[in-house]
Amino acid sequence: MFRHHIKSAVFSFLFTVLLFSVPFQAKADGFSLHLLDVGQGLSVLVEADGHYLLYDGGGSAASSFVVSYLGRQGVQELDYITVSHYDEDHLSGIVGALHVYACDTILEPDYMAETDIYQSYLSAAQQNGADIVTPSCGDVYMLGNAKVQVVGPSGYDSPSENNRCVSLRIVYGDTSCLICGDMEADGEEDLVASGLELSSDLYVVNHHGSASSSSFYFLDQVLPEYALISCGQGNSYGHPAAETLERLQAMGCSLYRTDRQGTIVAHSDGSSLWFDTEPCTDWSSGDSGRDQSSGDSDSGWNPDDSGSGRSSGDSGSENAAAQGTETAASGITYVCNMNTHKFHYEYCDSVNRMKESNKKYTNESREALIAQGFDPCQNCNP
């Protein structure tokens, strides 16, 4: 009996050694990351060994494109949907996907929003029947052979919704990628302070390349080789910002951007990483692209069957400079949200998502509003 226990213990030990010494082997499906061209928004489809994760879904104008794109990739069911945060340009397409595809688990941030699209999301998630989880920093999920780790936020109490974004680092063999939604500099500092590994080959650039994101402090931890930016051609925010592009260029990153290249797909076999297209050589800021545009919408996005998402003419809305002139002419300088205590330019997308009862139109100065306790919007930067 004693010898039998010894043999069992030895066998268990050898089995454990063998299990953890087996080298990583990618399955036939391998790994791919699709940065969908949803205009001024974000949607990322991650595939690992025939399993799928959808991170955000873009805005309402791109919802049908996202659903059809998933179908063309052979998606029948989603293992995970990750909602970074509840801004419309990230959430609307998820609502569409929930109506079409079964989903096992939804990872969502721990706060609520006072918007119609948020209510639509709650209804769609309930009807879908997916398990809804509020992840904690450090949680790990498996997607085929890919390890998906939640690297932020450390908590959901930030006054900025952008800094509450569910952030993921995905590792497949020797390759890795980082997706953090609209995280900004303060949130990036929290990610670094968590002590979790952030270094990643591929970095989906935070907040569409906003100047308030992708600080050198953060990039020094991520050390990306490839920088992927999702933004709309001729968008009213000037994304990507010149400052951010300069920081990425200084890090030696290869650049990919949806406003110039359409949908971008990266692949990995667990040891090497490659793309379906060459890096972008256009390092000009969104402000430059906006000056050259003529009548593009904020998203600059026009869906087509190829998924390239290139704009093809006037979509009916004016550029930011014209909108700013209209605002000044009307005597309205800013729109205050009396619930969040933020103030915005009248043309800001956030204004369209406010309840009318929360709006305060004013021609007071920026300094006067800040003195009253209002914070400037981090999207339109009034």
Is residue 381 in a domain? no
Q: What is the CATH number of the domain that holds 218?
A: 3.60.15.10
Question: Does the structure show a pLDDT above 90 at 38?
Answer: yes
Say which amino acid occupies 319. Answer: N
Is residue 73 in a domain? yes
Number of folded domains in the chain? 2
Burial profile 30-61: b = 16 or more Cβ within 10 angstroms, e = fewer: bbbbbbbbbbbbbbbbbbbeebbbbbbbbbbb
Residues 333 and 206 in one domain: no
Residues 361 and 272 in one domain: no
Per-residue pLDDT of 46-94, as tens digits, reads 999 999 999 999 999 999 999 999 999 999 999 999 999 999 999 999 9
E strand spans, 174-321: 175-179, 202-204, 226-229, 254-257, 264-268, 273-275
Residue 273's DSSP bridge partners are 268
Residues 210 and 327 in one domain: no
Q: State the DSSP code for 197.
A: -
Per-residue pLDDT of 73-86, as tens digits, reads 999 999 999 999 99
Whether 297 contacts 286, CB under 8 Å: no
pLDDT value of position 328: 38
Per-residue pLDDT of 255-281, as tens digits, reads 999 999 999 999 999 999 999 999 999
Is residue 110 in a domain? yes
Is residue 19 in a domain? no
The Cα 338–Cα 354 span in angstroms is 10
> Last residue of a domain, which of 276, 292, 308?
292
Q: State the DSSP code for 359.
A: E
Tokens of 194: 């968590």
Residue 371, C-beta contacts closer than 8 angstroms, at least 6 positions apart: none
Whether 172 contacts 267, CB under 8 Å: no
With a pLDDT cut of 70, the percent of the chain lying above it is 80
Residues 194 and 339 in one domain: no
Residues 250 and 351 in one domain: no
Residue 205, C-beta contacts closer than 8 angstroms, at least 6 positions apart: 213, 214, 227, 228, 229, 230, 240, 244, 248
Mean pLDDT of 129-140: 98
Say which amino acid occupies 366. Answer: R
The Cα 275–Cα 165 span in angstroms is 27
Residues 49 and 160 in one domain: yes
The range of the structural domain enclosing residue 366 comes to 320-376
Residues 217 and 260 in one domain: yes
Residues 61 and 140 in one domain: yes
Per-residue pLDDT of 224-256, as tens digits, reads 999 999 999 999 999 999 999 999 999 999 999
Place of tokens 């908590």: 155
Residues 335 and 288 in one domain: no
CA angle (199, 202, 205) in 5-degree steps: 95
Is residue 2 in a domain? no
Per-residue pLDDT of 350-368, as tens digits, reads 777 777 778 888 888 887 8
Is residue 309 in a domain? no
Residues 197 and 287 in one domain: yes
The Cα 277–Cα 266 span in angstroms is 9
Residues 166 and 286 in one domain: yes
Residues 328 and 278 in one domain: no
**pTM here?**
0.73
The Cα 342–Cα 331 span in angstroms is 19
Is residue 206 in a domain? yes
Is residue 304 in a domain? no
Place of tokens 């595809």: 101
